Amino acid sequence: MLEESFGVLSTISVDVPGYPFGSVTPYCLDRMGRPVVYISPIAQHTKNIVADPRVSLTVMEQGASDDVQAHGRLTYIANAQPVNRDRDLAERYFRYFPTARQYENTHAFDFFLLEPVRVRFIGGFGQIFWLEPQDLLQPNPFTAVEEERIVQHMNQDHADLLRRVGGGPSVIMAGLDADGFDILKDQSKLRIPFKAPVTNTEEARRAFIEIGRKN
């Protein structure tokens, strides 16, 4: 969930009642590790959600192997809830998907939070099990203000480090959490894990210093 940015959002069709309807949808995680989607009211999946909030989001690990069944994947079963009034969440989403900000003024897109019910995880052959919400959710140790401040600081004062880590000139930091941080390289997300989880800004500072020494 942390490494990927897109999944197949399955909703219950209103046009073909009772049947699932799948569509590829970008997502961003909120401060509890729950996916948030930004979708248009005229889209079929949005109409389906308004009629019935029960959804699933299937996310697949990207990899070089041609054997798709050898990759990790999960199906995140959830109830979709509108969250348009959460400005901090919106700003976090727009950092991960900068081009989506234009939809805020030109189109009536809506944010929906996927509140987990149960998650089915497959880590490859023989690694199949269910996860309950409490097994998956992980609070972000940084407040929205702290995260934004760190992101701005890294992009303004440590752009050289981000370029070295990302391996290219067009690299910016989008967000961070306890386990690592995310950078955008040519609009594609690249996940950079910390050696150990961090719980506050000082630990994050030391983690960035360690990464800088290795790069």
Same domain for 151 and 122, yes or no, is no
124 vs 200, more confident: 200
Containing structural domain, residue 204: 144-214
User: In angstroms, how far is CA 12 from the centroid of its own chain?
Assistant: 23
Of the three residues 69, 101, 136, the one that is the final residue of a domain is 136
Q: How many domains are there within the chain?
A: 2
* Of 98, 115, 136, the domain-final residue: 136
Instruction: Looking at the structure, tell me whether residues 149 and 132 fall in a common domain.
Output: no
Q: Please indicate, yes or no, whether residues 12 and 117 belong to a single structural domain of this protein.
A: yes
* pLDDT at site 62: 82
Rounded to the nearest 10 degrees, the angle between the axes of helix 144-157 and helix 201-214 is 30
CATH code of the domain containing 88: 2.30.110.10
> CA-to-CA distance for 187 and 200, rounded, in angstroms?
28
CATH number of the domain within which 151 lies: 3.20.180.10
Widest distance between CA atoms in the chain: 57
Task: For residue range 7-27, list pLDDT tens digits in order.
Answer: 999 999 999 999 999 999 999
Q: From CA 181, how far away is CA 93, in angstroms rounded?
A: 14
What ranges make up the beta strands (E) of the chain? 6-12, 20-26, 28-29, 35-39, 54-60, 73-82, 110-122, 128-131, 171-176, 180-185, 188-193
Q: Tell me if 104 is assigned to some domain.
A: yes
pLDDT of residue 64 exceeding 70, the answer is: no
User: Per the structure block, which two tokens stand in for 134?
Assistant: 């409490």
For residues 93 and 26, membership in a common domain is answered with yes
Same domain membership, residue 88 and residue 174: no
Q: Does one domain contain both 100 and 173?
A: no
For residue 203, give every residue at least 6 positions away whose Cβ sits within 8 Å of its Cβ, in sequence order, or none.
Answer: none
Task: Give a yes or no: residue 117 inside a domain.
Answer: yes
Residues 36 and 123 in one domain: yes
Q: Does 169 lie in the same domain as 103? A: no
Residue 170 predicted with pLDDT over 60: yes
- What pLDDT, on a 0 to 100 scale, did the predictor assign at position 124? 73
Residue 94 included in any domain: yes
Confirm whether 1 is domain-assigned: no
If one counts every other C-beta atom within 10 angstroms of the C-beta of residue 16, the result is: 9
What's the mean per-residue pLDDT of the chain? 92
Centroid of chain to Cα 142: 16
Same domain membership, residue 37 and residue 127: yes
Please report the DSSP string for 101-148 in residue order. GGHHHHS--EEEEEEEEEEEEE-STT-EEEE-HHHH----SS-HHHHH
Domain final residue pick, 93, 117, 136: 136
* CB contact set of 40 (below 8 Å; sequence gap of 6+): 46, 103, 107, 108, 109, 110
Q: Residues 27, 131: one domain?
A: yes
Question: What pTM value is reported for the model?
Answer: 0.92
Q: How confident is the model at residue 65 (pLDDT cuts 50, 70, 90)?
A: low
Do 20 and 112 fall into the same domain?
yes
* Helix, strand, coil percentages, rounded to 5, for the chain: 35, 35, 35
